[in-house]
Structures are given as structure tokens and as C-alpha cells.
């Protein structure tokens, strides 16, 4: 690890001003990705601006068919929240399936979404639940947020303050997980909004994506059979020691069918 300075901000404005005035500074959330990459000398920020003491970045609010979660809310808090379990049970279940207890107690929703790891779970929820990423200066629609592997629409000095999810009538997230890290080798989130269905896939490609063919098929007939036979092209999908591109393409169909089956077993929330 290279040497760095440490600054603890207590307001969003303080963090943003510090980020602008200190060249090479990065914000620190749970540190579960950033500190690991610093240890490997893949990142060498001149300064870490810790967001943990900013009260405005935490908290969960349930509104009229929305759930808004502060950027510094830890995965364990989302999983254990009675409000999220009631209003958006598929999101609480997703959070409870991230990594292990230690990572869930440290990792944050804002950190995960800003990091945009191709195998992370939350990006699929943001996309399937048609969420809005709220920053210190604007609101970014989910469809415009995830640009590529570890790339987002965020400016270099822009901070996620919260994420507002739309509440579907029902939804489900199913992943084929890596047995050690629990990152998604392939994960599929399906959400039924009554007049539309959204299907988001993580882990399979360089960045989370929607599957229009599956969304169309589910809009015609809402059943697991509708997606089980749809196979996405393997071109451009991830291939590594865990799974090849062809295998990942097959797993998208399998996980999508399981997600629809699980979703249909859930009670309607509205």
C-alpha cells in the first residue's frame, strides 16, 4: 500500500469541497473494494475522504411506492430492515446474499453502485427496479447510469447521496454465486410493475444489462416457461476461470426462469 492522507468529512458539502480541492483524493465508504485495491497497489489515492461520519448519507425511507436508501447504508442494514423486508422483500433478500457477514457489515449501497463491479448484486436491483441514483447535484435514471466495466455516469467529484427504488408489484433476484466470494457468476433480477416487466442481468457481461426479449416475452405471458427458452448471445459475455461465455449465456436463461418462478410465488404488494 502506498502512503495516503486521511480526512473525515461530516457533511456532504465538506466531502465534495475536499474532493474538488485535493488532487488525487477519493471518497471512502465501506472500503471493501477500495482498500483491497490499495493493498494490491492497483489504486494509490493521495487522500481518502471518509464518508462514515455524514449522517445525511444514512437511513431508509419508504414512500408512496418508493424506497429511498442512503448511500452509506450498509448491506447488513438493508437486509435486516423491517421496512425494506415489507416494502421491497426482493431487495432485502439480495442484500442478505452479498458476500459474508463481515463484508455486509462494512460494505455500503453507494460504494457498491459507484464501484459498478461487473459481478456485483446491487446494480441489477438498480436497473430492474428502475431506480434513480441521487447525487449531490442531480438525479440519474438507472438506464443512464451504468456505462461499462467499473464505469458509471458519475463525474470524478460527484457523490451518490441516496438511491430511490421503485416498488414493483412483486420481484425476485436469483444468482448463481461464486462459492467463496458470493459475487454473482450470473444473477438475474426480475420485477413486475403491472404495465411493464424489467429483467436485469449482472455477472454475465462487463456491465449489468437488461434483456428486451425476456421482458417482451414476460409481458405476453408471465411464466417461467416464457424465458427458459430464450438464450442470449454469448458474444461479449465474460469468460474466466469460473465460467466461459457460453456457460454464462445458458445460466442467464436458467437464473431468469428461477427468478420468475420465485417472483410468482410472492404475494402481490399492490
Ligand X SMILES: Cc1cc2nc3c(=O)[nH]c(=O)nc-3n(C[C@H](O)[C@H](O)[C@H](O)COP(=O)(O)OP(=O)(O)OC[C@H]3O[C@@H](n4cnc5c(N)ncnc54)[C@H](O)[C@@H]3O)c2cc1C
Site residues, ligand X (CB under 6 A): 26-34, 36, 51, 71, 75, 98-99, 103, 107-108, 110-112, 114-115, 120-122, 154, 159-160, 181-183
Q: Which residues contact 73 (CB under 8 A, 6 or more apart)?
A: 58, 59, 60, 108, 109, 110
Q: Could you tell me the smallest distance in angstroms from the CB atom of residue 215 to ligand X?
A: 23
- Least Å distance, CB 91 to ligand X, is 12
List helix spans (H) across 109-154. Answer: 109-115, 122-128, 142-145
Q: Which is nearer to ligand X, 114 or 211 (CB)?
A: 114
Kindly tell me which of 77 and 192 has the beta carbon lying closer to ligand X: 77
Residues 72 and 28 sit within 8 Å (Cβ to Cβ) = no
Q: Which three cell numbers stand for residue 175?
A: 444468482
The cell numbers describing 172, all together, are 425476485
Least distance (Å) between residue 102 CB and ligand X? 8
Nearest to 162 by CA among 186, 184, 134: 134
Q: Closer to ligand X at the Cβ: 33 or 90?
A: 33
Q: Shortest approach of ligand X to residue 185 CB, angstroms?
A: 10
For residue 155, report the phi and psi dihedrals to the nearest 5 degrees: -75, 165
Among 20, 255, 253, residue whose Cα is nearest residue 157: 20
Query: Closest CB to ligand X among 68 and 181?
Result: 181
Q: Give the residue at shortest CB distance from ligand X.
A: 111
* Residue 219 CB, nearest approach to ligand X (Å): 28
Residue 5 and residue 163: Cα distance in Å, rounded? 29
Nearer to ligand X, 5 or 246 (CB): 5
Amino acid at each position: 500500500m502506498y502512503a495516503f492522507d486521511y480526512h473525515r468529512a461530516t457533511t456532504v458539502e465538506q466531502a465534495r469541497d475536499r474532493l474538488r480541492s485535493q488532487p488525487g483524493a477519493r471518497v471512502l465508504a465501506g472500503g471493501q473494494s477500495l482498500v483491497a485495491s490499495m493493498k494490491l497497489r492497483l489504486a494509490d489515492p493521495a487522500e481518502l475522504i471518509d464518508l462514515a461520519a455524514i449522517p445525511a448519507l444514512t437511513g431508509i425511507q419508504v414512500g408512496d411506492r418508493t424506497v429511498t436508501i442512503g448511500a452509506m447504508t450498509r448491506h447488513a442494514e438493508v437486509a435486516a430492515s423491517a421496512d425494506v423486508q415489507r416494502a421491497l422483500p426482493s431487495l432485502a433478500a439480495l442484500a442478505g446474499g452479498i458476500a459474508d457477514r463481515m463484508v455486509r457489515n462494512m460494505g455500503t449501497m453507494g460504494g457498491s453502485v459507484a464501484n459498478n463491479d461487473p459481478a456485483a448484486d446491487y446494480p441489477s436491483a438498480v436497473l430492474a427496479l428502475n431506480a434513480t441514483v441521487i447525487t449531490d447535484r442531480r438525479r440519474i435514471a438507472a438506464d443512464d447510469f451504468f456505462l461499462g466495466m467499473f464505469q458509471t455516469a458519475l463525474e470524478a467529484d460527484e457523490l451518490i447521496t441516496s438511491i430511490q427504488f421503485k416498488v414493483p408489484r412483486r420481484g425476485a433476484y436469483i444468482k448463481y454465486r461464486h462459492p467463496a466470494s458470493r459475487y454473482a457468476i450470473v444473477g438475474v433480477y426480475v420485477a413486475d410493475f403491472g404495465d411493464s416487466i424489467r429483467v436485469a442481468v449482472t455477472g454475465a457481461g462487463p456491465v449489468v444489462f437488461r434483456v428486451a426479449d425476456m421482458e417482451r416475452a414476460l409481458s405476453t405471458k408471465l411464466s417461467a416457461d416464457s424465458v427458459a427458452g430464450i438464450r442470449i448471445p454469448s458474444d461479449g459475455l465474460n469468460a474466466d476461470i469460473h465460467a466461459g461465455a457460453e456457460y454464462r449465456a445458458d445460466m442467464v436463461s436458467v437464473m431468469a426462469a428461477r427468478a420468475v418462478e420465485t417472483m410468482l410465488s410472492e404475494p402481490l404488494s399492490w
